[in-house]
Structure 1
Amino acid sequence: MPTLSSPEQPEQPEPTSPHQARRTAESFGADARRYDRARPAYPDDLVTRVVAGSPGSDFLDVGCGTGIAARQFQAAGCAVLGVEPDARMAGFARARGLPVEVAAFEAWEPGGRAFDAVIAAQSWHWVDPAAGDAKAAQVLRPDGRLAIFGHVFEPPAEVAEPFAAAYRRAAPESPFSDQPARRPLEMYQAGYAQFADRIRESGRFDEPEQWRFDWERSYTRDQWLDLLPTTGGLTRLRPDQQAAVLSAVGRAVDALGGHFTMQYTTLATTAVRAGTH
């Protein structure tokens, strides 16, 4: 279970660098079943493009979680090994047919194994940037591909604004309470551009590419309230705080007729290991 603060012993704030925020990073496994059920899969076009752009079918999934992305690559004919620091998430993924080794990627020992692609779905920001690119290059075969990707989660203002207001009321001490109700796509794109800059600066890869996939999904009230507790802002709230936020969001979705359409963008930064042509 994630570590929660008590009234007598408030938690110290976590570091602002995502890879150092271990309590949040390891909180998603508190309800691995819900995470796997509610979190969306990745666009088929992305999966196809990564597979087609890799020299073979041996894939390593960094921070594989419950195996959402890995199962899509398995269905595309790839042999996928997961690396996951949370034993609860790893256990769920194994039960669904994914071989997983429990370790942080930075500390994981490849034991001489090599892969045609290293993928990171919604997880690369948890990897130490000083070590991630070098470790990926180390385990990639000639012409192997690093593919980092994730979704932009920004519901419409009619849902996002009540969420933000309720969150500030329920958890004013949380660092997430200072965030705006909706963040522009450009903010997320800047994050993936930073991934590209670090890959480029490592000198271990060819020029990185930026990919974008736009799609949409309709959510009922219950479906959205199922997904929200799997997001970083809610995984570490007390049950009463979480219930207050979900109640406000539920009323907002009810006011829209009980459903809404989410406009998703899935972003990717990808590069081929250098010096192997």
Structure 2
Amino acid sequence: MPTIPPERAPISEHGPHRHRQVAESFGSDAARYDRARPRYPQAMVDRIVAAGPGPAVLDVGCGTGIAARQFEAAGCTVLGVDADARMADLARQRGLEVEVAAFETWDPGGRKFDAVVSGQTWHWVDPVAGAAKAAQALRPGGPLAVFWNTGRPVSELAESFAEVYRRVMPDSLAAHQWTTPAVDGYSALYTRAADGIREVGAFGEPEQWRFAWERSYTRDEWLDQLPTTGGHTRLPPAELEEVLAGIGAAIDAVGGGFTMRYATVAVTAARTGAT
């Protein structure tokens, strides 16, 4: 059975998973989250399904079930795990089976899965404890696949977005993220995930998959999504309104809509050996 090494590497000491109050803020408007958040490319879902020895999928940090429903549509049976009961309740309303727990302390109860997936969530999970738990739940050959959507509009609009955040939230990550390549902003998360998988010693060498796609947004669609993202869920109402007004004006200035160029990046590794 995989175990967490007694001397932990420094990759987990200051990771985002320490900030549970942020991770648990997304359920404050679960319906908006489910409605507005982007989905994932079908090519990635199909590749993960093809990599597993069977159809049983465990979705870690399933939220409202956005990724889970895509895996179900691809022919999988999915169990979700999420720490937020509000998100889990909405996922159940959408027909998903969900257990409420932090993944690091969740008990698989002897159950085995053909794939463990986590969309836009693994940075809230301790990367070593999470990989060890995934190894316990996976059948040999089954993949652990953790993935994130990253996106960037055209450079002119990205700079306009950055200017809004520099004015309203000068010390925030959002004030800087629009002026750096989107994928680069997530590179630390990919590295942390891969290092955690390697440290557990129950997987093959991690791989990185990348899928490019686009989605067009109207002004209202983008402003609907914005409050569901990590930099905005805990903003004071007045500050959030100022951000939304500024971003809305920037989108109006380019015609009332734009195309987001997304890259979905997955870190994957196959469970080795026998249980």
Q: TM-score, normalised by structure 2?
A: 0.90
Output the CA distance in 2 between the equivalents of 1:247 and 1:260. Answer: 16
Contact 1:124–1:148 at 8 Å: present in 2 too? Answer: yes
Q: Counterparts in 2 of 1:131-170, with a 5 A limit?
A: 131-170=129-168
1:66 shift after superposition: 0.5
Q: What residue number does 1:41 align with?
A: 39
Query: Secondary structure at 1:56's aligned position in 2?
Result: coil
Please identify, of 176-185 and 256-265, the stretch whose mean Cα deviation from structure 2 is larger. 176-185
Contact conserved, 2:128 with 2:197, CA < 8 A, in 1? no
- CA shift digits 1:234-265 (9 cap, x unpaired): 11101111110010111110110111111000
8 Å contact from structure 1 (residues 208, 269) kept in 2: yes
Question: For residues 185 and 272 of structure 2, what CA distance do their matches in structure 1 show?
Answer: 28
**Residues 165 and 175 in structure 2, CA contact (< 8 A), matched pair in contact too:** no
Partner of 2:173: 176
- Match of 2:259, SS state, is strand
2:105 matched to 1:99?
no
User: How far 1:194 sits from its partner (Å)?
Assistant: 3.2
Paired residues of 2:209 and 2:265 also in contact (CA < 8 A): yes
Cα 1:245–1:187 shift into 2, 3 Å: closer
2:127–2:197 contact (8 Å) kept in structure 1: no
Alignment partner, residue 241 of structure 1: 239
Runs of 4 or more consecutive aligned structure 1 residues displaced over 2 Å after TM superposition: 153-172, 174-183, 185-191
- 2: CA distance, partners of 1:39 / 1:176: 19
Residue 192 of structure 2 aligns with an amino acid whose one-letter code is: Q
SS at match of 1:206: coil
Answer whether contact 2:127 2:192 (CA < 8 A) is retained: no
Q: CA deviation at 1:201?
A: 2.8
Checking the alignment, whether the CA contact within 8 Å between 1:159 and 1:249 is kept in structure 2 is: no
Measured against aligned partners, the alpha-carbon deviations of 1:133-170 in whole angstroms (never above 9, x if no partner) come to: 11100111121110111100333333333333333333
Matches within 5 A, 1:213-232: 213-232=211-230
Please provide the CA RMSD for this pair. 1.8
Gaps of 5+ in 1: 1-14
Unmatched runs of 5 consecutive residues or more in structure 2: 1-12
The one-character-per-residue Cα deviations of 1:76-132 (angstroms, maximum 9, x if unpaired) are 111100000011100000000000001100111111111111000010010012301
